Amino acid sequence: MAFEFKLPDIGEGVVEGELTKWLVQQGQTVTEDQPLFEILTDKVAAIIPSPRKGTIAKLHFAEGDRVSVGSVVVTIDDSAAASVPAQVPAQVPAQVPAQALAPAPAPAPALATTDRVRAAPATRKLARTLGIDLATVPATGEEGRVTRDDVQAAAAQATTPAAPAAQEAAPKALERGASEERIKIKGLRRRIFQKMRDSKDHAAHFTYVEEIDFTELVAMQAQLAAGGLKTTFLPFVMKAVVLSLQKSEFRNLNAHIDEAAGELAVQRRYHIGVAAATEAGLTVPVAHDVDQQSIRQLTETVRHLGEGARSGTLTAADMSGSTFTITSLGKLGGMFATPIINYPEVAILGLHKVEKRPVVLGDQIVIRERMYMSCSFDHRLIDGHVGAAFVQSIKTYLESPAFLLAELA
């Protein structure tokens, strides 16, 4: 008999994902718990195992397609085992990577005709909240994607007298050249592609740049290394950021913007996203409750997140919940850049390269360890003087690490 396997609920708030890779082929015999396909969501990459043994009768999606929770992904002919009820593994099987998620016992019901509409999960959630059928909304986003603005426009039109609809122009395809190579934008790169577009479409970016003197922090780092604690500058920066966010005048920077409600959701916990470069692209693992961790603990947290990002073993919890993000180009940092906000957050801090530079102190030219720091803010919510003062607060802590440690005592 034919068993239709639907995409299970693979995480809180996840309504769809991108099928990035098939691990089986039509006609192939599979065993229970054998990996079927890879799925990429807004929160995690996962490998989905087979809930039962049988023969792959049909693959319903192609690699790169968006798949909604509850949609039939693969049909399995399990005639030989028809009398045996499907079992859900109690834990992830050994042959499946740690981030793999087992199918839910009762797959969610299939969604309506909006399943195949191209839209981000947040856009789908907004449409459900406003009672808008995505299948009826004209798409203006990249690659025919429905944006939040499209949904809000449809909701506004639904409450006003109908007017002749303007014909939406489809994106014009580029003429294919004889000497060019075409690369499908998919997987993590497509996720980055959309998140960057969402951020630029919504947040009104402005960037403030300051030069930070790291000389004393470099010396402290060397002392800690001599005592057995080898750490980077990042845990100190994270602590300086959180101490600044805890000040009443900067509390609105540790927040998310809820466009649909017209509200700023100020967060009471301090979860710092740390942008990490991987072979697949940029990921943002999250260090949770940074205010409650010591420098030693943060050093281990940063190491764990960095290794997990590179190996692809981070969990959904490791990749979600950030309230403020730090991005660093490390040795490639150059002078400064304009980091793009991790929307719906309202600010992001960019770190660059620490290097020796000549500096005038008093009447003397001395060599100091210096770094440029770039911080981008959503100017709709954060005034320029507030953003500048926030960076100056971070600078004070980093240039005088004794005061930073005194605050942490």
Question: Which residues are part of the catalytic machinery?
Answer: 379
Q: Could you give the angle at which helices 148-158 and 121-130 cross, rounded to 10 degrees?
A: 10
Provide φ and ψ at 239, rounded to 5°: -65, -40
Residue 295 in contact with residue 408, Cβ under 8 Å?
Answer: yes
Burial of 72 (0-12, 13-18, 19+ CB in 10 A): middle
Query: Residue 77's closest CA among 52, 57, 100?
Result: 57
Is residue 244 within 8 A of residue 393, CB to CB? The reply is yes
* CB within 8 Å of 156: residues ≥ 6 apart: none
- Residue 302's nearest CA partner among 239, 247, 256, 251 is 239
Q: What is the CA radius of gyration of the chain?
A: 25
Give the angle subtended at the CA of 73 by the CAs of 67 and 76, to the nearest 5°. Answer: 175
Sheet containing strand 66-68, strands side by side: 45-49, 35-40, 16-22, 66-68
**Rounded Cα gap, residues 360 and 265, in angstroms:** 43
Q: Which residues contact 3 (CB under 8 A, 6 or more apart)?
A: 52, 54, 75, 76, 77, 78, 86
Token couple for 45: 């990459």
Phi, psi of 323 (to 5 degrees): -110, -20
For the CA atoms of 211, 217, 222, 226, the dihedral, rounded to the nearest 10 degrees, stands at -160
